[in-house]
Amino acid sequence: MQTKRMTFSSKWLPYALLAPQVIITLIFFIWPSYQALLQSVYRQGDAFGIRPPTFVWFDNFKALFADTLYLNSLKVTLIFSVGTTLLSMSVALLFAVMVNRMIRSRDSYTTFLVWPYAVAPAIAGVLWWFIFNPSIGIMPYVLDMFGYDWNHRRNSQDAMMMVIIAAAWKQISYNFLFFLAGLQSIPHSLIEAAAIDGASRMKRFWTIVFPLLSPITFFLMVVNIVYAMFDTFGVIHATTEGGPAQATNILVYKVYRDGFVNLNIGSSAAQSVILMAIVIILTVIQFRYIERRVNY
Amino acid sequence: MASITMDNLGKVYAGNVRAVTGVNIDIADGEMIVLVGPSGCGKSTLLRMVAGLETITEGTLRIGERVVNTLEPADRDIAMVFQNYALYPHMTVFNNLAYGLKNRGLKKAEIDRRVKDAAEMLQIGQFLDRKPRQLSGGQRQRVAMGRALVREPAAFLFDEPLSNLDAKLRVQMRVEIRQLQKRLGTTSLYVTHDQLEALTMADRLVVLNGGRIEQIGTPMELYSRPETVFVAGFIGSPAMNMLPADYLRTLVPAEALAHVPQNADLIGIRPEDLALAPPAMGEIGLSGRLLLLEPAGAESHLHLVFDGIDEHVVVRLPHVPDVSEGATLQFSLKREKLHPFHQASGQRVA
């Protein structure tokens, strides 16, 4: 590949321009990661310096995988992230298909549908916390009319449902934009050709449109799983705080609880290292797959 | 196999934008009709109305004996070849051809047979396992043709199918499409803006302008007797020369123009009807100064300004004459080769 080489008159200018990003990366990413790696193989000392931190090899990891609470958290995270991804992507695709069919009002709908993305996760959490509040919320009131007794403080399924909805709601905007762009990039003549070829509207969607969207769908799937696993701390913290009875205690939230509330630094660090490994694996999968698949 | 009848077809878009007005065309079974006109003349809209991709707002459209105005594209028994081919990029060539057959619930053995037959006819048999992106432009064009003909439809619709090909391939595919159409005997409607394509492929030609039909006829009818100024200027390359009738009347004796009606104020002259020679008895003589000589191998184009007039005239000769630019040349013209028009109405007057 031919690249244009930029030359600077001063030798130091390029370094100075790079410095802010490098410094931020070092302080906020590399150094904490290093600390996490280090602490994950130590058992912390006490507060008075009587017993110094001890090097314990992989005891923290062994303890984690023997811990039913941690295994439960893994399971909860899996359900939560799959649920959030499926919900946000399917709703976003539905919206994108509907908006794509509009001609004049397309832009205004797009604008409205993108707004939730500007809402901070914690605020989104509070919003849904109010809507689903068993005492004063509107949804329990409506559900009660259908004979369903909603209470996410007691019922772990209700709690999971609520956090999935709250987390997915925010992500719909993002997915919607990508799906809409994807739909618009499909030549209209393909759909027309399929219509002449005798495919019904549904069949056209599933045999032509959906396969052509697959690179975008896959990209969004990875992004959404990463979002659900790592960016939803605010949603959980503002609504269920991991409860009831650990039912919504996802991995990220457990790291925070074990480390900063329960002060079990070693275990918390080991959990972060596992999370880090998961991110790396997801990213590698994404790049491998996207590169192979993007030009159909 | 079927005829197509357009009875007073019209299209008005939302916002009262008119695209097509009062189109009457009877396409006989097995006939190849070419719609030709400048961009924006409504030819593609008309084709898409026949295909069912645009709604018909006025008139009646029949394919065979059926009125198909409100039928879905799939139910009209037509196949269309798109300008960008519109091949399904995620499917193999085989599946591209088979898609329409599968949707119609044909048996697998029948699908296989039809796809194999079509592939053989179009010489794309060895590409059946490939995806469209692995094919060249000409091969994609063949696949698009194949997708149309496996369906064995009542009519083929072509929407400028050759405009994405390079000049050489275009000529080759033009011949192949025409041969194929004649062999299959399928009624066809073909849209192009290329008048050479139109002249060479059509059984009958329809010239459209501003959403209306200017003239319908065989290519030679349109060429030798254009009914309007627009058709005269559109069909033929280089275009027909248009001279004011009054100018000609000053040049020649009145009896030489006796056959030209008095209300004709514009006279069309085909570039090849002017001969580089002094006028013989009963011929019209014209002389002009040569601005530019364009040799084109077997023929040549002479750009001139005729004496006493400020019109640019083009003459086509079947050879390259030995003349120099700036020279004054004598031309002769047979009296029956004049095309008299009435400028205000744009109509031919004799």
**Residue-wise pLDDT tens digits, A27-85:** 998 998 888 888 888 777 777 777 777 777 888 888 888 888 888 888 999 999 999 99
Contacts of A199 in chain B (CB under 8 A): 74, 99, 103
Contact between chains at A199 and B53 (C-beta distance less than 8 A): no
Q: Of A229, A284, A279, whose CA–CA distance to A255 is shortest? A: A229
- Distance CA(A289)–CA(B292), nearest Å, equals 61
At how many degrees (to 10) do helices B167-184 and B137-149 cross?
20
Query: What integer best gives the mean pLDDT of chain B?
Result: 90
Tell me the three state secondary structure of residue B70.
coil
Strand runs labelled E in chain A: 42-43, 54-55
Q: Of B71, B90, B152, B163, which to mutate for an interface test with A (greatest number of A Cβ within 10 Å)?
A: B90
Distance of CA A9 to the CA centre of its chain: 44
| pLDDT band at B40; cut points 50, 70, 90 | confident
Packed helices A210-230 and A265-293: angle between N→C axes, nearest 10 degrees: 170
Specify the length of chain B in residues.
350
Dist. CA A169–CA A139, nearest whole Å: 15
According to the model, what pLDDT value does residue A86 have?
Answer: 95
Instruction: Assign B36 to helix, strand or coil.
Output: strand
Contact A296, B87 (CB under 8 A): no
Q: Which amino acid is at A198?
A: G
Residues of B in contact with A190 (CB under 8 A): 86, 88-89
Q: Which CATH architecture has domain A57-294?
A: Orthogonal Bundle (1.10)
Angle, vertex CA A10, rays to CA A9 and CA A11, nearest 5:
120
Distance (Å) from the alpha carbon of A198 to chain B's nearest alpha carbon: 4
Return left, alpha or beta for B15; rule: phi > 0 is left, psi -120 to 50 is alpha, else beta.
Answer: left
Tokens, residue B112 = 């296989």
- Average pLDDT along chain A: 85
pLDDT of residue A244: 82
% of chain B residues with pLDDT over 70: 100
| Domain parsing of chain A, residue ranges | 57-294
List phi, psi (to 5°) of B338. Answer: -85, 140
CB B279 within 8 Å of CB B285: yes
Top residue of B82, B104, B115, B156 to mutate, by most chain A CBs within 10 Å, is B82
Residue type, A60: N
Query: Looking at this protein, which amino acid is placed at residue A85?
Result: T
List chain A residues with CB under 8 Å of B150.
Answer: none
Is residue B232 within 8 A of residue B214, CB to CB? The reply is no
ipTM score = 0.83
- Higher-confidence position of A19 and A249: A19
Q: Which residues in A246-276 are b (16+ Cβ under 10 Å) and which e?
A: bbbbbbbbbbbbbbeeeebbbbbbbbbbbbe
Residues of B in contact with A214 (CB under 8 A): 90
User: What is chain A's Cα-based Rg?
Assistant: 24
Q: How confident is the model at residue A107 (pLDDT cuts 50, 70, 90)?
A: confident
pLDDT, residue A231, reads 84
